[in-house]
Amino acid sequence: METPTAYRYEKYSFRVITPLMALLTFIFLVYAEYIGTSISFVVGTLLAFSYQGVIIDMAGQRYMKYDRFLNIRIGGWKTLSTPSYVTVVRINLSSARTGPSPIVVPQDKKGVRAFKVNLVVEGDQRYISICRGSLEKMTEEALRLGKSLQIGVLDYTTHEKKWIL
């Protein structure tokens, strides 16, 4: 169960398998395989409404990273070490990759920037990745998390590292 003072972040997650399930449904329908049509339609519908998120419960000293399909959450609670601060970091996505990558690489040969919010904790784990996106949204989310947990927020996106909360 979740307490009302818990921090929650959730984001829609597009799954590549969803259009494939739609194609499979169509193929089953063409060949009049109605059981296969029904199963692939239900699975495709569940995957079309998928979300990824994190819940941090400071009262219970635990957190949960999960995938949600409709109202079904897949993920378990883990113990939370003492949080030190929240940080917003820059991630450079380079087009000079040598191996296969599941992310879209930039076409301008210079690179693209994404930003990520991490909760820095004491202990072996060091940090918990919370979310990823544009600078404005990640700064807002980092401030919301910092206020919720009553800890500082460090902007680590430029060369001049600065505390913003």
Cα distance between residue 142 and residue 148, in whole Å? 10
Beta bridge partners of 148: none
pLDDT tens-digit map of 55-79:
999 899 999 999 998 788 999 999 9
Listed in sequence order, the DSSP H helices in the chain are 17-30, 34-48, 135-149
Report percent pLDDT > 70 for the chain.
85
Provide the token pair at 54.
């994190």
pLDDT tens-digit map of 122-161:
988 899 999 999 999 999 999 999 999 999 999 998 888 9
**Nearest alpha-carbon partner for 117 in 92, 144, 79:** 144
- Is the pTM higher than 0.85? The answer reads no
